[in-house]
Homo-oligomer: A and B are copies of this chain.
Amino acid sequence: MTTSRPRIKTYDRIVEQSLALFNEHGERNITTNHIASHLGISPGNLYYHFRNKEEIVYQIFLRYHRFITERLAVPQDRSMNVGDLVNYLDTAFEAMWRFRFMFYDLPGLMARNPQLQADYHQFVNSELQTILESHFREFIRLGLLKMELEDIAPVSVNIWLVVKFWFAFEQTARPKAPITEASGHRGVRQVLALLKPYVTPEFLPAFNALQHRHAAE
């Protein structure tokens, strides 16, 4: 076990530093040579762990997947409450922000990475859609949101669409401006605007606090 330790560490460092570089410069502008040089390792050492950049991107996707599914999991030992809805909305923001390079140009990223495309597709269409809709039903049952059941699917699709394309929207709307944390906060405000008509008086104080937390800087 001891001998494999440095290998695991380098592997994780490559994934983490690649994510940071992709977020800052866009995945398209970063090569495996940039990543190796940034980490102070040889390109050969990087290729020992990853055959190409797409494999690194795919590992980042797996972390994104784990982040979302862990954070959006339904609690097993208690019923859900207002705090859970707030946490889920914060998760949307954090997932967007931590893994933001994925959302700069998702169709382009997918086109260059067929394995990512297949798994992403599977994740969003089966897992994520199911998770979002069951959460909605639970929050309606708890009286935090009030909406007709037939509206759950279109509203959760709209939420997902805004989360997914927010940074691309900002980039086409403000081509010269860099993507900052403020862009992420604007994105969450757009998601909150989608939910606002369905918020019940019981949830309103927590909802307003959430809006306030993401208010315009």
Within the complex, the shortest CB–CB distance from A25 to chain B, in Å, comes to: 15
Count residues of chain A with CB under 8 A from any CB of chain B. Answer: 36
* Residue numbers in B under 8 Å from A166 (CB-CB): 161
Contact call A169/B164, Cβ cutoff below 8 A:
yes
Please tell me if A110 contacts chain B, counting CB pairs below 8 Å.
Answer: yes
Interface string of A162-196 (1 = CB under 8 A from B): 10111011011111000000000000011001101
Please tell me if A17 contacts chain B, counting CB pairs below 8 Å.
Answer: no
Which one of A4-12, A49-57, A69-77, A116-124 is at the B interface?
A: A116-124
Sample of 26 A–B contacts (CB below 8 Å): A107-B108, A107-B168, A107-B172, A108-B108, A110-B172, A110-B175, A117-B172, A120-B172, A121-B172, A121-B174, A125-B173, A125-B174, A154-B189, A157-B190, A157-B193, A158-B190, A158-B193, A161-B161, A161-B162, A164-B165, A164-B169, A165-B168, A165-B169, A168-B168, A197-B197, A197-B198
Can you add 18 more A-B contacts, CB < 8 Å, to A121-B175, A154-B190, A161-B162?
A105-B107, A106-B168, A106-B172, A107-B168, A108-B108, A110-B172, A117-B172, A118-B175, A120-B172, A124-B173, A155-B193, A158-B158, A158-B190, A158-B193, A161-B169, A161-B190, A162-B162, A164-B172
